[in-house]
Chain A
Amino acid sequence: MGEMKKITMTRITWKNIIALPSLALMIATPFVVRDSYISHIFILALLYGTLAASFDFAVGYLGIVNFGYAAFMGLGAYTSAIAAVTFGINPWLGLLLGGAAAGLLGLATGVLTLRLYGIFVACFTWFLGMGLMFLVAVTPEVTRGYLGLSVPFFPNVWILDFTDPLRLSYFTIMVILSLSILSLMYYLGNRTKMGLAFRALRGSEPAAMVCGINPLKYRVINFTITCAIAGTLGSFYAHYIRILTPNLLQTSQTIQILVIAYLGGRGSLWGSIIGAFLIITLLEVLRPLEAYRFIIYGVILILVMIFYPGGLARLLTRKELY
């Protein structure tokens, strides 16, 4: 009991000293600076950070690599966008619709494939993602394919004006979405019986099965949740960027998310957010170098993998994460 209390205490102090002020700083900066470019960077970093964290929620706990992750995000984006453009459905409802569509596809995929492990799941989801991308590209009468589908703004709510060029309203929504998704994942992973099952399965699947945990059930639940999160964030992306092409679903998008999750560090929610801020800022700072920036990016990736394979989170804390 005494030991328990000590661990809780350290956690709270650690959070108080570093995490909360930096969180406050992160939220306050765009409101203080009031620059549309800065807001854009912050929104993208939060978006990709949250996506990476939920990607990591599947990899970190159950080793499921969803290599078609961008396609699930794209499915959410297109669902919400088509609902708004063709059927005139309110984009706020679209957030739910996008999440539900991606979650349903995730459920179906999960039930069918999660008996499999490792590279088979990764390749299967990759093929599925490519299939969705081709589907979007060959149905221009619905999705406008490579011509691009233009998507309306979110309707104004209270003092939030989404047509404002400073993008602060979008940033507010992004912060709310991101914080609620991160807290949901933290809650699911640490405070529920389901999270306990995830951790048991991560430790040793045979041992967990002996305790009466059905791995398939928890793998499918985990997969569905992460896909639904991707769909919700995708529909936010649709109404933020406001132009959708099949390129959103392509493999390089998934790679971007995967790299943030791995450089940020596996098994930590905040690691992914910090990783996203670092990588997105780095890419923006290096933008004048054009093609050279991706060479530098690639070299950094290679060096990190060779010398600090645990990523950023392992570098900062030695303890076992999650």
Chain B
Amino acid sequence: MDVTTVIELLLAGLGRGAIYALMALGLALIFGILNIPSFAQGEFYMVGTYFGWVGLSILGLGPFVALLIAAFATSLVGICCEKILFAPLRRFAGEEWLVNVFVLTLGLSLVLQNVALVTAGPLYYGAPYFWGPGTADLFGFRISYDRLMIAVLATTTIVIFWVFLKRTRLGRTIRAVAQNADAASLTGVNLGRIYTITFGVGCMLSGVAGALMVAILPAYPTMGIIPLYKGWFVVIVAGLGTIGGCISIALLLGVLEAVGLLVASEGWQSFLYIIIICILLIFKPFGVFGKREVRGIWEK
């Protein structure tokens, strides 16, 4: 095993990590602002993959356009779900909001999965390439164009999201709602609108992750569970309420997984990570970067 192999794996791992970061950010955003512990996020990832496939393989559009189509379509599905399902529940549900909304997302995930199964059938739909064939030469290290562009586009999305949240008026409003919804409401923020937009943005992040991976993991109705699990994994290990923490843990996990393939098979790796994480969480129960005072689920 030489240095080149390790560095190539490292680069591939960063790409993988960026995808996990997108999933984790979507989950953390939706949990932080809307207080929804989403189980349906994997299904939005799946919706993104399907639309990415439609854009790339059916319509034959370029990767950029396909990505935009997937992002737009996923956020549209997300916004519809928010308007039709979560907004009424917010009006009806009182003290037991968290439990009810969690079970609601279970139902939503079932519906989306099986709607996909009915429309597309139990077949795998993938594109041969996302960006194109061949490998790029990056300072003497070979990495396939696909892997490279996935990493670049995922990073770009994360940067755009970061700027949106930190530098725009809407982003400031969203952060205000995250800090204290009632106070934000008093200063004239339309909470319902912010909730809808935030849910749309969170779904869009998952959809982008799905569309980016279309050439590597083909679209399939039940594909969402693994990204969902990895996303929650990152969110819990990083601690709720930290964007930077989520990104760094996601990248670390991606790199560990890629390099770890040299040592152990995927199944053993997953088992070992869980053991490591369990031990870690015993010492840092609120996550590596987490603070104690974040709100948790199923508490009154």
Q: Which residues on A sit within 8 Å (CB–CB) of B240? A: 119
Stretch at the interface among A42-50, A176-184, A255-263: A255-263
Whether, in the assembled complex, B263 has its beta carbon less than 8 Å from a beta carbon of chain A, the answer is no
Stretch at the interface among B60-68, B108-116, B192-200, B212-220: B108-116
CA distance A258 to B110 in the complex (A): 14
Whether, in the assembled complex, A116 has its beta carbon less than 8 Å from a beta carbon of chain B, the answer is yes
CA distance A116 to B103 in the complex (A): 22
Whole-angstrom distance from the CB of A248 to the nearest CB of chain B?
16
How many chain B residues sit at the interface, stated as a range, is: 35 or more
Q: Which residues on A sit within 8 Å (CB–CB) of B108? A: 298, 302
Within 8 Å by CB of A65, from B96, B111, B282, B298, lies B298
Within 8 Å by CB of B271, from A131, A291, A299, A309, lies A131
Whether, in the assembled complex, A89 has its beta carbon less than 8 Å from a beta carbon of chain B, the answer is no
Within 8 Å by CB of B88, from A126, A134, A295, A306, lies A306
Stretch at the interface among B14-22, B160-168, B177-185, B229-237: B229-237
Whether, in the assembled complex, B7 has its beta carbon less than 8 Å from a beta carbon of chain A, the answer is no
Whether, in the assembled complex, B6 has its beta carbon less than 8 Å from a beta carbon of chain A, the answer is no
Is there contact, CB below 8 Å, between A258 and B106? yes
Whether, in the assembled complex, A14 has its beta carbon less than 8 Å from a beta carbon of chain B, the answer is no
Whole-angstrom distance from the CB of A97 to the nearest CB of chain B?
23
Within 8 Å by CB of B93, from A113, A291, A299, A309, lies A309
Whether, in the assembled complex, B125 has its beta carbon less than 8 Å from a beta carbon of chain A, the answer is no
A134 and B271 in contact, given A119-B297, A120-B236 (Cβ under 8 angstroms): yes
Whether, in the assembled complex, B141 has its beta carbon less than 8 Å from a beta carbon of chain A, the answer is no
| Chain A 125-142 interface residues, beta-carbon cutoff 8 Å to B | 126-128, 130-131, 134-135, 137-138
Q: Which residues on B sit within 8 Å (CB–CB) of A258? A: 103, 106
A124 and B296 in contact, given A298-B108, A305-B107 (Cβ under 8 angstroms): no
Whole-angstrom distance from the CB of A275 to the nearest CB of chain B?
13
Is there contact, CB below 8 Å, between B270 and A134? yes
Q: Name which residue of chain A comes closest to B121, CB basis.
A: A291
Whether, in the assembled complex, A307 has its beta carbon less than 8 Å from a beta carbon of chain B, the answer is yes
Q: Which residues on B sit within 8 Å (CB–CB) of A116? A: 285
CA distance A230 to B37 in the complex (A): 25
Q: Which residues on B sit within 8 Å (CB–CB) of A298? A: 107-111, 114
Is there contact, CB below 8 Å, between A306 and B104? yes
Q: How many inter-chain contacts with C-beta < 8 Å in the A-B complex?
A: 129
Whether, in the assembled complex, B170 has its beta carbon less than 8 Å from a beta carbon of chain A, the answer is no
A122 and B271 in contact, given A130-B229, A295-B114, A301-B106 (Cβ under 8 angstroms): no
How many chain A residues sit at the interface, stated as a range, is: 35 or more
| Chain A 290-311 interface residues, beta-carbon cutoff 8 Å to B | 291-292, 294-295, 297-302, 305-307, 309
Whether, in the assembled complex, A112 has its beta carbon less than 8 Å from a beta carbon of chain B, the answer is yes
- Most B CB contacts (10 A, CB to CB) among A118, A126, A251 go to A118
Is there contact, CB below 8 Å, between B297 and A301? no
- Most B CB contacts (10 A, CB to CB) among A112, A119, A123, A251 go to A119
- Per-residue A-contact encoding for B73-110, CB less than 8 Å = 1, 0 else: 00000000000010011001100100111011011111
Whole-angstrom distance from the CB of A273 to the nearest CB of chain B?
19
Whether, in the assembled complex, A152 has its beta carbon less than 8 Å from a beta carbon of chain B, the answer is no
Q: Name which residue of chain A comes closest to B93, CB basis.
A: A309
CA distance A255 to B110 in the complex (A): 11
Within 8 Å by CB of A127, from B92, B118, B265, B278, lies B278
Is there contact, CB below 8 Å, between A292 and B296? no
Within 8 Å by CB of A118, from B89, B267, B278, B297, lies B297
Is there contact, CB below 8 Å, between A309 and B106? no
CA distance A291 to B111 in the complex (A): 10
Within 8 Å by CB of A295, from B100, B115, B265, lies B115
Q: Which residues on A sit within 8 Å (CB–CB) of B118? A: 291-292, 295
CA distance A118 to B285 in the complex (A): 12
Is there contact, CB below 8 Å, between B107 and A302? yes
Q: Name which residue of chain B comes closest to A295, CB basis.
A: B114
Q: Name which residue of chain A comes closest to B31, CB basis.
A: A119
CA distance A306 to B90 in the complex (A): 9
- Supply 12 further A-B pairs (C-beta < 8 A) apart from A112-B278, A259-B106, A306-B88: A115-B285, A122-B297, A127-B236, A128-B278, A134-B268, A134-B274, A138-B271, A255-B106, A295-B118, A298-B110, A301-B110, A302-B104
12 A-B pairs with C-beta separation under 8 A: A59-B298, A63-B298, A118-B296, A126-B229, A134-B270, A135-B271, A137-B267, A138-B268, A255-B106, A291-B118, A305-B101, A307-B92
